Structure 1
Amino acid sequence: MRVLLCPDKFAGTLSAPEVAAAVAAGWREIAESDELLIRPLADGGPGFVDVLADALGGHRVAVPIVDPLGRPAAGEILLTADGTAYVESAQACGLHLLAPPERDPKATTSFGLGLLVAAAVERGAGRVVVGLGGSATNDSGAGMLTALGVTPLDAAGLALPYGGAALAAVAGLDGAPRLRGVDLVAATDVDNPLLGLHGASNVFGPQKGADRADVLLLDSALERFAMVLERDLPGCPASLGALPGGGAAGGTGAAILALGGRCESGIGLVSRAIGLDAALDAVDLVITGEGSFDHQSLRGKVVAGVAGAARDRGLPCVVLAGQVSTGRREAAAAGVTDAYSLVDHFGGDEHGLAEALSRPADGLRELGARLAGQWSRARRV
């Protein structure tokens, strides 16, 4: 039997290659003669550069940057032979970079991401692909724009401080983007717009530490900033706050659109890079997964892309996740044959959650063995 293992990371515990390796180890305990194709995936969030580096090769360049609170941090860009540079917002803006008490989307900044993009431009890249996802920010990319030469100003002409809340006072812009004509692409893990009920502040703000009052403040501030960008930044598209993908990474997608860039599916971009279509055409079963299989999983993330492609080929697709909250009917409509939760595997409730967080590789190995017992024609009897 030929099995494709193409998971995303389990955020906070295992990288995508580690997830795939654990499942593969369990499968081989039961059906060692089966052919396993291992193709770890990313959708623009954490692990984006690592997965692409494994698939494309290229040269990784270390870049000194800052984290979401402006503290020194380390980042890198991936430069490939075709003149493309890949950068990852999570390296500079990632929620995992902050301790829980530090998480405040009113104050966090995307400035470090701007330093990564600027480094890619200075290295001569003709195309810069920015992986968006897993961010701690909600500043609509204002920090990134500042690092690229476009500074938001208040009514007195003073530069605004870091953070999304400060944008409530934005009145204009100073400077021009230093991009040297690069083709700028946002690889997004979501299709949410910048503003409104399904926008960056309402949907993702609470995950980053925002309460209800914060969400209302931030959405209003981002609306004001979008108006200023449309008015003062040449080439900014109209209706910026409503464009799909603008809400990615705390609204950084909107900043990339405002700079004349475009949004692409992160999973689609990575899938092409690793040859996912060819792998799907050559297998009998697909196993994918992520840390939490929930309603957001079906809005442009890895699981949605993989399950849809499997469904189109008539292939069964099994999802492994730390937690599963997506309904069976909704999952089936997206192409998911079955879904298994590490929390449930370890007994459910608080004990199961603790085990899933502390022993994810063990659980995935055991689930891999379980799936081999159910699916493989070569399983030991």
Structure 2
Amino acid sequence: MASDYTQFRGIDYPFRVRILIAPDKFAGTLTAAEAAASIAEGWLRSRPDDTATELPLADGGPGFIDVLEAAIPTATRRTVDTLDPLGRAVKADYLRDGDTAYIESAAACGLHLLTPAERDPRRTTTYGLGLIIAAAIETGAKQIVVGLGGSATNDAGAGMLTALGYTFRDAAGEPIGYGGAALAAATSVDGHLRTRDVRFIAATDVDSPLHGPVGATAVFGPQKGLRPEDQKQLEHALMVFTSICERDIGYLHAAEQPGAGAAGGLGYAFNLLDGRRESGARLTCDAVGLDAAIAAADLVISGEGSFDSQSLRGKLAAEVASGAAAHGKPCLVLAGRSEVDSHPDLAGVYSVTDLLGSAAKAMKAPAQGLSALAEQVARQWIANRA
């Protein structure tokens, strides 16, 4: 879809337009850096005298620590041994800056770590994320910022909490298994957290609660391989688990808080850890100096793989558009596909799918398609504003 908003007509653009390109990842196809490079390449093919500044962003999902690493000169990358969502050995990186650790939950429990046939949130666990957090704590971290997104899990963070010291037991007193479905067997919680008074920040732009029709299982379960016939089973398991946590840990109403359903319920687990929820988009935008970059630009371009109704609820493209509007700068969105063609802060929405005629063609060569879209928009958009 391409939208045409008249409020930006009549702007007297200079001959050389300063373009700020600040996209999110295009999930499953392009990293944010690759997307930014593709947009810049296409734009400059049409308008070689323009200047294009690339500022890849992230909202807490995959790419979170890559963006922060580029933005924080004093941060160092560390590698630890951990486990993937099915308990297989993998290595994961996190960032350390002073006594703060930045961790990407997807590094241990990301959907990208599984083949399509392996995706089943009844079985997958966040235990590996807990191992990364434990490693950061053992090396002296006092504050841990965890980006939530891109997960293959729906276990309400039970695996992570187990790695950090809690034990969830069944009626026979034995530890329950891993994965979302195993939570139905929980009857008690014991143990002690080994978190040493660390401060936790959950960076997410998902505001869903844990349970219900807009909760983790119903909204995000199908994206992780959950079959419709298994949805009730998994929702029931989470209800059992949270009732046990409320009784034995004592945090009432944690499952109802906005963001509790983020990353398959990891948001809920961070509530149990007295963590603070922050906007992942805002955190990364502040870290990279987005506001100053917008002020120095004539036109702002953001983008993501799928621009839909969720994109407008505080996610990255909406955050960029809001910042552009605050400076009186027009903002365009270039997406893989779009279900939205209007937003008060946007001057235009364009999709590779519309350009090429089908999602299959858009997915076949995503970088080339995005570059071609940027080339077309650059050729047409500024001329149409005159």
CA contact (8 A) 1:93 1:112 kept: yes
Partners in 2 of 1:214 and 1:176 — Cα distance? Answer: 32
2:97 corresponds, among 60, 63, 80, to 80
1:361 aligns with 2:376: no
2:180 corresponds, among 146, 151, 164, to 164
- Counterpart for residue 344 of structure 1: 354
Q: Deviations over 1:203-262 (max 9, x none)?
A: 10111111233222222221221222222225x3x2111100110000001001111111
Task: Kindly report the root-mean-square deviation, in angstroms, between the aligned alpha carbons of the 2 structures.
Answer: 1.6
Partners in 2 of 1:165 and 1:42 — Cα distance? Answer: 31
Q: Deviations over 1:174-231 (max 9, x none)?
A: 2111111111010013111111111101110111111233222222221221222222
The amino acid of 2:310's aligned partner reads: Q
CA contact (8 A) 2:334 2:374 kept: no
What is the correspondence of 1:195-210 to structure 2 with a 5 Å cutoff? 195-210=211-226
1:148 aligns with 2:158: no
CA contact (8 A) 1:31 1:376 kept: no
Partners in 2 of 1:185 and 1:260 — Cα distance? Answer: 9
- Counterpart for residue 81 of structure 2: 64
Partners in 2 of 1:23 and 1:179 — Cα distance? Answer: 43
1:6 aligns with 2:6: no
The amino acid of 1:364's aligned partner reads: L
- For residue 106 of structure 1, report the CA deviation from its aligned partner: 0.6
More off after superposition, 335-344 vs 368-377: 368-377
- For residue 375 of structure 1, report the CA deviation from its aligned partner: 4.0
What is the correspondence of 1:131-146 to structure 2 with a 5 Å cutoff? 131-146=147-162
- For residue 98 of structure 1, report the CA deviation from its aligned partner: 1.1
CA contact (8 A) 1:230 1:258 kept: no
- Counterpart for residue 92 of structure 1: 108
1:22 aligns with 2:38: yes
CA contact (8 A) 2:351 2:373 kept: no
- For residue 32 of structure 1, report the CA deviation from its aligned partner: 2.4
- Counterpart for residue 190 of structure 1: 206
CA contact (8 A) 1:200 1:247 kept: yes
Partners in 2 of 1:375 and 1:325 — Cα distance? Answer: 20
1:51 corresponds, among 43, 49, 67, to 67
- For residue 376 of structure 1, report the CA deviation from its aligned partner: 4.7
- Counterpart for residue 309 of structure 1: 323
Give identity over the alignment, percent. 54
What is the correspondence of 1:106-255 to structure 2 with a 5 Å cutoff? 106-233=122-249, 236=251, 238-255=252-269
Partners in 2 of 1:356 and 1:137 — Cα distance? Answer: 28
- For residue 123 of structure 1, report the CA deviation from its aligned partner: 1.5
- Counterpart for residue 276 of structure 1: 290
Q: Deviations over 1:141-174 (max 9, x none)?
A: 0000011111211122111111111111211112
CA contact (8 A) 2:59 2:281 kept: yes
CA contact (8 A) 1:191 1:300 kept: no
Return the TM-score normalized by structure 1.
Answer: 0.93
CA contact (8 A) 2:336 2:370 kept: no
The unaligned stretches of length 5 or more in structure 2 are: 1-16
Partners in 2 of 1:316 and 1:80 — Cα distance? Answer: 35
1:372 corresponds, among 367, 374, 378, to 378
Partners in 2 of 1:374 and 1:318 — Cα distance? Answer: 13
Partners in 2 of 1:277 and 1:122 — Cα distance? Answer: 36
CA contact (8 A) 2:145 2:201 kept: yes
The amino acid of 2:91's aligned partner reads: A
The amino acid of 2:379's aligned partner reads: G
The unaligned stretches of length 5 or more in structure 1 are: none
Return the TM-score normalized by structure 2.
Answer: 0.92
1:332 aligns with 2:347: no
The amino acid of 1:278's aligned partner reads: A
CA contact (8 A) 1:105 1:163 kept: yes
